[in-house]
A = this chain, B = another copy of it.
Amino acid sequence: MFYFTIDILGTIAFAISGVLVAMEKKLDIFGVFIIAFVTAVGGGTLRDLLIGNTPVVWMRDNIYVFVIIGTVVLAVLFRNQLKYLRTSLFLFDTIGIGLYTLVGIEKGLAAEMLPLMCIALGTITASFGGVIRDILCNEIPVIFRKEIYATACILGGTSYFFLRKLPFDDQYAYAVAILIVIGIRLLAVRFKIALPSVYSKDRN
């Protein structure tokens, strides 16, 4: 129940981030819905395709489509109020990537993938919805340019495999790894930490 709630909150946060980008591009309401949809489910879809886990996860239950339709309707109606929710949205989104990273890793483990591939699948689950959103909106994906985002997924995902070796129940490792993803992302945004630039020297 707890996981389900977080999953739905993450879906909502991702969908709203899609609505915001789509409305900036002045898409029509169908376009806004599609962008919201791919932002929310795109990462999990790519993960399922890569490991051959079809039909992909959102096709097995109507709940995702309904939640995203509801989110889009409300987000469009109350679009002028969305700016007051910026902090809550950021929080949902951050909790969302924490959970999605670990969900992706667990799916990888269930498909007997190597640990490195599980971390890749977790990162894809959490971050490639946003990549597809940006491609559809004709932008270079934002996570390739400036944010500590995928990096938080990779570090949190890696920590999970170390934590699992400790003499505790795997569920603790799972929860702690989620918190590590969330913590790194919060600290990075709070202290404006970006990946070290590889271009500085070239600019002299």
Contacts and interface: CB of A to CB of B under 8 A. Distances in A.
Interface residues of A, number: 52
Contacts of A196: 29
A181 to B, nearest CB: 15
Interface string A184-204: 000000000011111100000
A198 B29 contact: yes
Contacts of A59: 50-51, 113-114, 117, 120
Contacts of A197: 28
A145 B32 CA distance: 9
Interface in A113-138: 113-114, 116-117, 120, 131, 135-138
A145 B27 contact: yes
A141 interface: yes
A151 B29 CA distance: 10
Interface string A124-160: 0000000100011111110111100011000000000
Contacts of A131: 136
Contacts of A31: 141, 143-145
